Structure 1
Amino acid sequence: MTEPVDFCRLDEAISRYVRPGDAVHVMMGHSRWSALVRELARQHWQKPSEFTLIMASLSSLGAVLFRAGCLKKVVTVYSGDSFPVFTPNPVFQQAYGSGAVEVENWSFLTYIQRLRAAATGVPAVVTGSVRDSSMAENDAYQEVDTAFGRVGLVAPLAPDVTLVHAAVADRQGNLAIAPPMFEGVVGALASRRGVVATVEKVVDDLRPWSTLVRIPAHRVRAVVEAPFGAHPGGVYAGPAGSRLPVQGYLEDVPFWISVREATRGADFDAWLREWVLEPADHDAYLAKLGPERLAELVRAAADAPPPPPRERSGQPPTGAERAAVWLADLVAHRVAETGTDTVLAGAGLANLAAWVGVGRAKAAGHQVALAAELGLWDYTPTPGDPFIFSFHNFPSSAMLLDTEQVLGNLVNGAFLRSIACVGAAQIDRTGDINTTRIDGGPYLVGSGGGNDVITNADEVLVVGTMGRRRFVDKCGYVTSPGRRVRAVVTDLGVLSMRDGELVLTHVAPGPEPLADRVAHVKDRCGWDLAVSPDLEELREVTAADVEELRSYDPHGYFLGRARTPVPTTGSTTER
C-alpha cells in the first residue's frame, strides 16, 4: 500500500528521501529549476555522496552541484549556459575534461525514451535517433536486425528519486503542471522510490483542473510548499480558461545571467556562499531576492511584452546578420517550393532566421508551423525577446505539448514534411555536425534536440559564420550525421550538398572581384572546398532585412552586436 505523502520542509524533504549514491533525476518542464536542487547542494556540500545526476539541460545553475563536489556522473543532453546565449560553461568543461565527473551524452528523444522504457517496465524502446552518430557507441544503445527491419534500441534509465517543481499540489499529493512540458513526466514515473516536489501552493482539491494533473500522489513521496520555488526558472499557470489557481511568473533572466558570469570568474565561490550556502532556508532566499523583484516577475508574466527598443538603426549588418538574412530567404523559398508543414529551429542565430523566414512564408499564404522542442507548436515569436523558450511565446501557440510529441510525433513524424534550421560548432565536408566535444580540446554543450531533428527531418539547413575552426575536414566527434543536410548558409556564401560533399554554390556580394571573394571563402574553409560551375551571387542585404532581424534581438545577443545592459527582471526585453 502506498504511504501517505509527506508534507514537510525543504531540508526535511532532501534529508529524508535522497540518499548518497542515488541516481537523482531533476525533471525539466518549462520550470527548469527547483529549490530542492539548491538544498541538495547545501546538504551534500563537499561530501563524497557520489550522485549520478540525471538532468536533461544543466544550464548555468547545474554548476552549483559540480562545485558542491557531490557528483560522480551526469547523464544529460545539454551541458552549457542558456542565458543570454547558448554557450559552453567552464565549470562543466573542467569537470569533464579532468575526469572528476563522468558524462554520458544523449539526444533529447533518446534521453526521454530511456526514461519511458524504465517507466513502462520494458527492456528497451525503439528509437530513430543517434544512429550514425558518436552517441551510438553508448552502452545503452544497440542496433539489431528484426523481422521488421534493422532498429535502434535504447535501454531503460531508472532514477532512484526525481526532484521536480510543480505549480500546485492537492492534499493527497497529486501534482499539477501546465504545459509546455519539455521532457514530460516519464522520469517521475520511472523513479524507483518516487518524486520529491516543491510547489507554489497546496490546495484542497485539484479535480477542477484534472486535465493538468500530471503526476499521481501514488508516485509522490514528499511535497514542500515553496512559493517561487522554481526561481530563477518561472512558472506558467496555463492559458486563459484552464489556468491553475496560482500566480505565474517569468524566468529571472538577469539572475540566470549573473550565474553565468559568476561561473567564469574568481568570485564563483563568493556567489555560491551568497545565494546557496548562507540563506538559512527558502524564506531567507526569497527575502534576499526582495519582494519588489518577485512582484515584478509576476507582473511581467501577466502583461503583454512592450515593443522592442530600436537600437543601432542604420548601422551596417554584422557577418552573423548577413548569414541570418540569407538563411531566412532560403527557409521561405524551401517552404514555398516543397510545401513544408513545419520548421523547427535550434536556438540562437538559426532560430532568428527561421522566425523571419517562416513569417515571410506565412505572409505569402503558406500554412507552415513553427515548432520548438520545449513543446511549442505553431507559435508566433515575440518581438524583442530572442530566447526560443520565452514564456511570452506560450500563449500564441496553437498547441502546448512536450518534447516527445514535437520531436517524435510531429517534426520527425511519418506524415509531416519538416525543415530543421540549426547551428554548428563544427561541420565537416560531408555535413556531419559536432556540438559535443573537440578531440583533444574542450567540451562544448551536447546534442540537445539537434541529433533528433538533424537525423530525421526531411532537410536540414545550417547557419554559421565562416571560419576554419568551424568548417573542418572531418569531425572527430559526430553529434549529428550529415545525410539530411541540404545547405550551409554563412556570412561569405552558401555551401550546398552535392554528391555527398558540401560545395560552394553561392557567394556573398561585394566590391571585390568574384575570383577574390571565392578565394576568401576557400581560405576560410578547413578543406579544399570545391566551387560549383554554376556559382551564383547572393542578393544584397538591405536595411529593412537587418531591422526585421534586430526587432527580435534588439540587444544583439545572437546577432553579434554590442550589447546593452540586461533588463532588471523578467524577459530579455527591457521594461
Structure 2
Amino acid sequence: MIEPNEQATPSGRPGVDKTMTMADAVAHFVHDGDTVSLEGFTHLIPTAAGHEIIRQGRRGLTVVRMTADIVVDQLLAGGCVAKLVSSFVGNSSAGSLGELRRRVEHSVPDPLEFEEYSHYGLVCRYLAGAQRLPFYPLRSYAGSDLPTVNPELRKITSPYPGPGGRPEQVYVVPPVNPDVTIVHAQRADRYGNTQIWGLTGVQAEAVYAAGKAIVVVEEVVADEVVRSDPNRTVIPGHAVDAVVECPRGAHPSFVQGHYDRDNAFYRSWSSISKDPARLRDWLAQWVYGTRDHAEYVANLGADFWSELAVGEALSQPVDYGRRL
C-alpha cells in the first residue's frame, strides 16, 4: 500500500504530498468490479489513465463517461468493461467505435450492458452524487423516448404546487457515486489543488461524487504557482487522493495551452477498431507494448509532437491585491 508523504505547507500546517506514478495510482485505487468515472469534455480526456487500466488487466468495471469515445472503445477491447453509463457514444464526429458496436449490436465477443442518459441527465446524476442527494429533478425528458429504454428515468410528484396550483410531475435521475473518478488537467500542486482552463466539463462534480479521485496533470507545479491564481483552481486538494504527472496524457485529445487535437488519429480510429485483428495489434503495440505513457510518447517521436504544438494565447494578468 502506498502511503502519501506528509509535508509542511507554506502556511506551516502539515499537508500530504499526493504525487504518485500512474501505475501506483491505478494499482491502489482501481479494482476489479469498481465503478470508474473518466471525465473530460472535448479536451483533457484521461487517455493515459485508461491505457494503464488496460495494462493492469482490470475486469468487470462499470465505466461512467458522458462522451464515451476512443478511450472507452480501447477499454472495451482490453476486456476491462462490463457496463457503460453514458450520454453519447461515438468517435468525436470522425466515425464509429468498432468494439463498442460489436458488443452492443451483436454481443461479440461479449455483451455490454449500456445505460443511456442525455448529457444533462448525466450531469444531474453527478450533481446528485456530489451533493449526496437521493435524486435530481429535471424537465428535459418530457416528450423523449429515453424513459422507454432506461427504467432509471422516473417520474415523481412535486411536493410543491405547480402552475395553477396543481401538483406537477417531474422526471428524476438517481445519483452516481463512482468508486473512483479519474480526470485530466493542466496542472496541480503536490497536494492536489488542480487548475483547469478552457472547457471545464463536469470534472469537479465527478470528483466530488466519487469515493476516491485521481487527478492526472500535464505538470505538477510549485505551491506558489497555484496560490498566485486561486480562481483557476477547479478541484481543491481536499477532494483529491492522488496526483499523477503525465505530460501529453490526454492524446489524442488536446489540452488547452499545451498541445492540439490529433485529428489524424481520430480519423484513423474507425478503420482500426472496425477490424478486431487490427485493433488487437494496435493494443499490442501501443498499450501492452509500452511500459508507461512516457514510452508511448517517445515512440511517437519528436517530429510527431511538433505537429501538435500550439502557439501562445496569454490571458491578461489579474491583480488580486494584498494588505499593505
Q: Distance in 2 between matches of 1:8 and 1:295?
A: 28
Query: Superposition RMSD on alpha carbons, in Å?
Result: 2.0
Question: How far apart are residue 61 of structure 1 and its match?
Answer: 3.2
What amino acid does structure 2 have at the position aligned with 1:91? E
Structure 1 unaligned blocks of 5 or more: 238-247, 305-394, 396-575
CA contact (8 A) 2:50 2:71 kept: no
Q: Distance in 1 between matches of 2:49 and 2:119?
A: 23
Q: Tell whether 2:45 aligns with 1:32.
A: yes
Q: Distance in 2 between matches of 1:249 and 1:293?
A: 11
Question: How far apart are residue 88 of structure 1 and its match?
Answer: 3.5
What amino acid does structure 2 have at the position aligned with 1:235? V
What is the aligned partner in structure 2 of residue 114 from structure 1? 125
What is the aligned partner in structure 2 of residue 145 from structure 1? 157
Q: Tell whether 2:167 aligns with 1:167.
A: no
Question: How far apart are residue 128 of structure 1 and its match?
Answer: 1.5
**1:138-193 C-alpha deviation (Å, 9 max, x unpaired):** 2322112223322111111111101111110112211111131233421111002x
Q: Distance in 1 between matches of 2:267 and 2:281?
A: 16
Question: How far apart are residue 303 of structure 1 and its match?
Answer: 7.0
Q: Distance in 2 between matches of 1:37 and 1:115?
A: 20
Q: Distance in 2 between matches of 1:35 and 1:118?
A: 25
Question: How far apart are residue 21 of structure 1 and its match?
Answer: 0.9
**1:24-69 C-alpha deviation (Å, 9 max, x unpaired):** 000123322331111001111xx6x210000111223321111111
Query: Which shifted more, 133-142 or 19-28?
Result: 133-142
What amino acid does structure 2 have at the position aligned with 1:289? L
**TM-score calculated relative to the size of structure 1:** 0.48
Question: Could you tell me which of 250, 258, 261 is aligned with 1:230?
Answer: 250
Q: Distance in 2 between matches of 1:183 and 1:122?
A: 17
**1:490-537 C-alpha deviation (Å, 9 max, x unpaired):** xxxxxxxxxxxxxxxxxxxxxxxxxxxxxxxxxxxxxxxxxxxxxxxx
Q: Distance in 2 between matches of 1:184 and 1:36?
A: 15
**1:193-247 C-alpha deviation (Å, 9 max, x unpaired):** x21121111111201221111111111111111111111111113xxxxxxxxxx
Query: Which shifted more, 92-101 or 73-82?
Result: 92-101
Q: Distance in 2 between matches of 1:268 and 1:236?
A: 29
What amino acid does structure 2 have at the position aligned with 1:216? P
Question: Do the aligned partners of residues 140 and 4 (structure 1) sit closer, same or farther apart at CA in structure 2, a change above 3 Å counting?
Answer: farther
Question: Could you tell me which of 69, 92, 103 is aligned with 2:100?
Answer: 92
Q: Distance in 2 between matches of 1:110 and 1:74?
A: 15
**With CA pairs under 8 Å and 6+ residues apart, which has the higher RCO, 1 or 2?**
2
What is the aligned partner in structure 1 of residue 240 from structure 2? 220
Q: Distance in 2 between matches of 1:17 and 1:72?
A: 18
Count of aligned pairs: 286
Question: Could you tell me which of 292, 296, 317 is aligned with 2:307?
Answer: 296
**Which structure 2 residues correspond to residues 395-544 of structure 1 after superposition, within 5 A?**
none
Question: Could you tell me which of 204, 212, 216 is aligned with 1:198?
Answer: 216
What is the aligned partner in structure 2 of residue 340 from structure 1? none
Q: Distance in 2 between matches of 1:226 and 1:145?
A: 48
Q: Distance in 2 between matches of 1:51 and 1:222?
A: 20
CA contact (8 A) 2:190 2:243 kept: no
Q: Distance in 1 between matches of 2:304 and 2:96?
A: 28
What is the aligned partner in structure 1 of residue 140 from structure 2? 129
Q: Tell whether 2:87 aligns with 1:68.
A: no
What amino acid does structure 1 have at the position aligned with 2:177? A
What amino acid does structure 2 have at the position aligned with 1:260? S
> What SS does structure 2 have at the residue aligned with 1:126?
strand
Q: Distance in 2 between matches of 1:90 and 1:172?
A: 39
> What SS does structure 1 have at the residue aligned with 2:24?
helix
**1:293-314 C-alpha deviation (Å, 9 max, x unpaired):** 213312xx2179xxxxxxxxxx
CA contact (8 A) 2:73 2:98 kept: no
> What SS does structure 2 have at the residue aligned with 1:277?
coil
What amino acid does structure 2 have at the position aligned with 1:220? V
**1:382-423 C-alpha deviation (Å, 9 max, x unpaired):** xxxxxxxxxxxxx9xxxxxxxxxxxxxxxxxxxxxxxxxxxx
Q: Distance in 1 between matches of 2:312 and 2:239?
A: 36
CA contact (8 A) 1:5 1:221 kept: no
Q: Tell whether 2:98 aligns with 1:80.
A: no
What amino acid does structure 2 have at the position aligned with 1:90? G
Q: Distance in 2 between matches of 1:67 and 1:12?
A: 23
Question: Do the aligned partners of residues 3 and 195 (structure 1) sit closer, same or farther apart at CA in structure 2, a change above 3 Å counting?
Answer: farther
> What SS does structure 2 have at the residue aligned with 1:166?
strand
**TM-score calculated relative to the size of structure 2:** 0.83
Question: Do the aligned partners of residues 3 and 221 (structure 1) sit closer, same or farther apart at CA in structure 2, a change above 3 Å counting?
Answer: farther
Q: Distance in 2 between matches of 1:155 and 1:5?
A: 34
Percent identity of equivalent pairs: 29
Question: Do the aligned partners of residues 171 and 89 (structure 1) sit closer, same or farther apart at CA in structure 2, a change above 3 Å counting?
Answer: closer
What amino acid does structure 2 have at the position aligned with 1:229? G
> What SS does structure 1 have at the residue aligned with 2:241?
strand
Question: How far apart are residue 3 of structure 1 and its match?
Answer: 8.6
Query: Which shifted more, 127-136 or 215-224?
Result: 127-136
Q: Tell whether 2:31 aligns with 1:19.
A: yes
CA contact (8 A) 1:5 1:220 kept: no
What is the aligned partner in structure 2 of residue 189 from structure 1? 208
